Amino acid sequence: MCEARVPITEIFGSNVFSDAVMRERLPKNIYKSFKKVLDGVADLTPAVADVLANAMKDWAIEKGATHYCHWFQPMTGLTAEKHDSFISPTAEGRTLMEFSGKVLIQGEPDASSFPSGGLRVTFEARGYTAWDCTSPVFIKEDGKNIALYIPSAFCSYTGEALDKKTPMLRSMDALNKQAMRVLKALGNTSARRVMGTLGPEQEYFLIDRRFYEKRLDLVLAGRTLFGAPSPRGQEMDDHYFGTLHERIASFMNEVNTELWKLGVSAKTQHNEVSPAQYELAPVFATVNVATDHNQLTMETLRKVAIRHGFVCLLHEKPFAGVNGSGKHNNWSLVTDTGTNLLDPGLTPHDNMVFLVFLCAVVRAVDKYAKLLRASVANAGNEHRLGANEAPPAIVSIFLGDQLTDIFGQLADGGAKSSRQGGELQLGISTLPPLPKDCTDRNRTSPFAFTGNKFEFRMVGSTQSTSGPTFVLNTIVADVLCEIADKLEKSGDVNATTQEVLKKIATEHARIIFNGDNYCSDWVVEAKKRGLPNLVSTVEALNTIMDAENVALFGRHKVLSETELEARTDILLEAYSMTVNIEAKTMLSIAKRQILPAATRYSGRLGDIIGSVSATGVSADTQKKMLEELSALITDLSAGIENLEAAVAKSGAIEDCAGQAAAFRNILVGPMEKVREAADRLELIVDADIWPLPTYAEMLFIK
Ligand code: ADP
Ligand code: MG
């Protein structure tokens, strides 16, 4: 029998200092003043902040919290927190519980150990955190520790962004400003604000912890650096959307409960394509809140997995030969009056606002395709993008039949009709006809229109959603700015809009591709169309500092040139460090586990050959086995030497781009060779001696 459960409606948001909590706990005038701050029409005054802080403290203490922290997102892509307790000792040896508005608004962590890309030298340690009051404060329970979390931005003493949140917030301002200009020019008088919305679908793997612990590569690098393919992979297509295994279902249930408490609206869960791969999707939210929530989601997946005897692997490609993990960033634009600006409605051809925003996205994505590509470039995603499962490294847009048709009409001078979906007759008398969408899906496109939003599918599963999202916000703001400039000056807005749309539809037709993006023909076709194909991470990162990008971020005050340069260096350094760690981990496993196991097995075979021969029976087969084994041992040993030399040669180059390129060019080849020999050994060495859990075990045993 099912035990009685607390209703979700009671669990949801129970650890969030939400609107409902504020309404209940704040004096009316303070509540109203703070709402104005949230709407962006008033500044937060010290008086309001003090009352807010006090109410937060009381609420948090009632919930058992002893500490508070500014929770921020440094350039590591993870989150950071330093806890302070509420206690404030008195002269009589007692203590008060204190939390002031000042402390709520601003923190000052010693920031010297976070990556700053040269923005700050170590002795200039000061950094500031500033409360992002548009993302709700919440309580997090970690074991026995309960603390109040204050979502914050993080900057240097000189005010430069050192985190992932600051540019996100700045890009939201830019987007709002330019989108409002366009809306106004098109005659909209009701909207006061435009926001980006984001619903990131998160893919991940779960494997049993006992296997994980025996794999130093998973522990240190997050992905398997060795492993022969499992005799069975994903070819049966039986995992995707399959029945949830009971242990997995229990895990998901607990993840959901934890997330719901934090106000994260975990909504959809299912098995993914690869065995042991799963997905979780939330209901979308404003981009900054969605990004905070995605960070909490990744953390919760990891944490709850441990409780269930699993380890959650968020790496983009934990296992070779089966699908990797991405994060599908569903993105759209909404007004404060609730209109989704990318909702085509029933007759998109005469929905002017929709067409303008759609075309703005199309132009932005084509114009800044390299920047978008760079925004998803990391070491993990290199194994995914361009391999024939994930989206390719070429950015293109899927619009679907209906919109592609309209886009064509716009290029010809104006859209006059919209194709309709009609009905689907299943030929079964007991089932009603189903309304059919006007467009099929395309799962291979890196940037697909999916009904009333775009889905950016290149994002890596470990990545913060901030980077790709603030890039998207900014490039779209930039094109909206161009359009607004024209419309505001125009004497005939209608005619000017038609001209703008015609120009975009003509100039940017090349970025629209509805076919199979995994197919090799597309690579050839894309080249003909002049679309960039930045295959490697280093190549992609090296385009960030292109003059047009520096100008773009400067124009919209999202990142200064110095900030952009610092970020690029951090990303290149992260790439270098990752590859270097992988190479060193590989050497350690190869030398201390695989080579010894293989030689032990060769010794055993040698003994067997001796004892079998002594009986007078032929040991020819055993000899053949030993010969094959010895040859591979020689290969592996040579590979190790080669990789060691490469590691020595590639280290210690001063500039970030040079270093990253060296690691890519010098280490990756030798690493592949070591893996090749080791994986072949795995196929012939006695399973009892083989030191690492196999792909089959990790992917199939629960
Ligand atoms: P699909 O099946 O096309 O992937 P879903 O409806 O399952 O679409 O949504 C996938 C994700 O897209 C969810 O996280 C959802 O919240 C998000 N999403 C839906 N509408 C929007 C929107 N307007 N803006 C941003 N994300 C959205
Ligand atoms: Mg989707």
The answer to whether 163 and 81 are in contact (CB under 8 A) is no
CB 446 within 8 A of CB 147: no
CA of 100 to the centre of ligand 2 (A): 43
pLDDT in tens, 29-43: 999 999 999 988 899
* CATH class for the region spanning 171-420+434-559: alpha beta
**What average pLDDT does the segment 247-265 reach?**
95
Helices (H), 436-555: 466-489, 493-507, 520-529, 537-541, 547-555
Concatenating the DSSP letter of every residue in 432-460 gives PPEEPPSS---TT-SEEE-SSSEEE---B
% of the chain residues with pLDDT over 70: 95
Q: What number does the ligand 1 atom closest to the CA of 452 have?
A: 23
- Residue 328 Cα to ligand 2 midpoint, Å, equals 6
CA of 587 from ligand 1 middle (Å) equals 43
**Distance in angstroms (rounded) separating the CA atoms of residues 161 and 130:** 11
Mutate to test the pocket of ligand 1, among 241, 327, 330 (most ligand atoms within 8 A of CB): 330
Per the document, the length of the chain is 702
How far is the C-alpha of 371 from the C-alpha of 363, rounded, in Å?
A: 13
Determine the distance separating the centroid of ligand 2 and the alpha carbon of 455, expressed in angstroms.
7
Contact indicator for 71, 147 with CB cutoff of 8 Å: no
Determine the topology of domain 576-700 in CATH. Answer: Four Helix Bundle (Hemerythrin (Met), subunit A) (1.20.120)
Structure tokens at 190: 């009701």
Q: What does the alpha-carbon distance between residue 149 and residue 406 come to, in Å, rounded to a whole number?
A: 47
| Per-domain boundaries in the chain | 8-163, 171-420+434-559, 576-700
Residue burial 37-46, b: 16+ Cβ < 10 Å; e: rest:
beeeeeebee
Reported as a single tens digit per residue, the pLDDT across 46-91 is 999 999 999 999 999 999 999 999 999 998 889 999 899 999 888 8
E strand spans, 26-94: 67-72, 80-85, 87-89
Closest atom, ligand 1, to C-alpha of 340: 23
Residue 644: CB atoms within 10 Å: 17
Lowest-confidence segment of 224-228, 309-313, 433-437 by average pLDDT: 433-437
Quick one: how far is CA 143 from the chain centroid?
Answer: 27
Q: Which residue, judged by its Cα, is nearest atom 1 of ligand 1? A: 450
In DSSP terms, which residues pair with 340 in a beta bridge?
334
Quick check: 122 pLDDT over 60? no
- Ligand 1 neighbours by CB, cut-off 6 Å: 197-199, 201, 268, 281-284, 330-332, 340, 450, 452-453
Q: What is the mean pLDDT of the chain?
A: 92
* Structure confidence at residue 432 (pLDDT): 66
CA angle centred on 40, ends 111 and 282, rounded to 5°: 70
- Whether the model pTM is above 0.75: yes
| Residue (of 456, 314, 315, 460) closest to 377 by Cα position | 460
Instruction: Point out the ligand nearest to the CA of residue 456.
Output: 2
Ligand 1 atom with least separation from CA of 201: 14
Ligand 1 atom at shortest distance from the alpha carbon of 343: 23
- Are residues 116 and 573 in contact, defined by beta-carbon separation less than 8 angstroms? no
Contact 354, 360 (CB under 8 A): no
Query: What's the confidence (pLDDT) of residue 472?
Result: 98
Q: What integer is the mean pLDDT of 365-370?
A: 98
pLDDT over threshold 90, residue 219: yes
Q: Quick one: pLDDT at residue 158? A: 81
Report which protein residue has its CA nearest ligand 1's atom 6.
Answer: 283
Q: Which of 453, 459, 469 to mutate to test the pocket of ligand 1 (most atoms within 8 A of CB)?
A: 453
By the 8 A CB rule, do 464 and 476 touch?
A: no
Distance (angstroms) between ligand 2 centre and the Cα of 191 equals 29
Report the SS3 class of residue 423. strand
Which of 284, 288, 440, 452 for a ligand 1 pocket mutation test, highest count of atoms within 8 Å of Cβ? Answer: 284
- Residue 110 pLDDT class (50, 70, 90 cuts): confident
What is the DSSP-derived secondary structure letter of residue 545?
T
Atom number in ligand 1 closest to CA 200: 14
Nearest CA to ligand 1 atom 13: 199
Question: Are 171-420+434-559 and 576-700 the same fold in CATH?
Answer: no
Q: How far is the CA of 241 from the centre of ligand 1 (A)?
A: 17
Q: What is the pLDDT of residue 434?
A: 65
pLDDT over 80 (residue 438): no
Q: How far is CA 304 from CA 255, 282, 296, 297, 312, in A?
A: 6, 17, 12, 10, 9
Judge contact between 271 and 257, C-beta under 8 A. Answer: no
Residues 6 or more apart from 530 whose CB is under 8 A from it?
Answer: 510
What residues pair up with 277 in beta bridges, in sequence order? 205
Distance CA 125, CA 111 (A): 5
Structure tokens at 640: 């190790």
Q: How confident is the model at residue 620 (pLDDT cuts 50, 70, 90)?
A: very high
Q: In the CATH hierarchy, which fold is given to the domain comprising 8-163?
A: Ubiquitin-like (UB roll) (3.10.20)
Give the pLDDT confidence of 271-314 residue by residue, as tens digits: 888 899 999 999 999 999 999 999 999 999 999 999 999 999 99
Confidence (pLDDT) at 159: 85
* Residue 159 burial (C-beta neighbours within 10 Å; 0-12, 13-18, 19+): exposed
Q: Which ligand is nearest to the CA of 330?
A: 1
Q: Which ligand is nearest to the CA of 454?
A: 1
Q: Of the ligands numbered here, which is closest to the C-alpha atom of 449?
A: 1
Q: Which segment of 288-292, 580-584, 647-651 scores lowest on mean pLDDT?
A: 647-651
Pairing of β 145-156 and β 106-107:
unpaired
Do residues 633 and 599 touch, judged by C-beta distance below 8 A?
yes
- At 238, the pLDDT band (50, 70, 90 cuts) reads confident
DSSP string spanning 322-334?
A: S---BEEEEEEEE
> From the CA of 326, which ligand is nearest?
2
Ligand sitting nearest the alpha carbon of 268: 1
pLDDT at position 208 over 90:
yes
Residues with CB in 5 Å of ion ligand 2: 328
Residue 116's pLDDT band (boundaries 50, 70, 90)? confident
What was the pLDDT predicted at 273? Answer: 81
Encode 263-309 in three state secondary structure. Answer: CCCEEEEEECCCCCEEEEEECCEEHHHHHHHHHHHHHHHHHHHHHCC
Which element (helix H / strand E) includes 195? strand 194-208
- Nearest Cα to 142, choosing from 294, 307, 293, 309? 307
Angle between helices 352-367 and 400-411 (to 10 degrees): 90
Taking phi over 0 as left and psi of -120 to 50 as alpha, with beta for the rest, 637 belongs to alpha
How far is residue 308's CA from residue 634's CA, in Å, rounded to a whole number? 42
Q: Is the pLDDT of residue 420 over 90?
A: no
CA distances from 184 to 43, 201, 497 (A): 24, 33, 13
Cβ atoms of 96 and 138 within 8 Å: the answer is no
Whether the predicted pLDDT of 684 surpasses 90: yes
Helix/strand/coil for 28: helix
Q: How far apart are CA 380 and CA 464, in angstroms?
A: 13
Which ligand 1 atom is the nearest neighbour of the CA of 268?
7
Tokens of 212: 């994980």
| CB-based contacts of 86-93 (< 8 A; 24+ apart in sequence) | 86/57, 86/60, 86/61
pLDDT value, residue 387: 67
Q: Which amino acid is at 65?
A: A
Contact indicator for 460, 384 with CB cutoff of 8 Å = yes
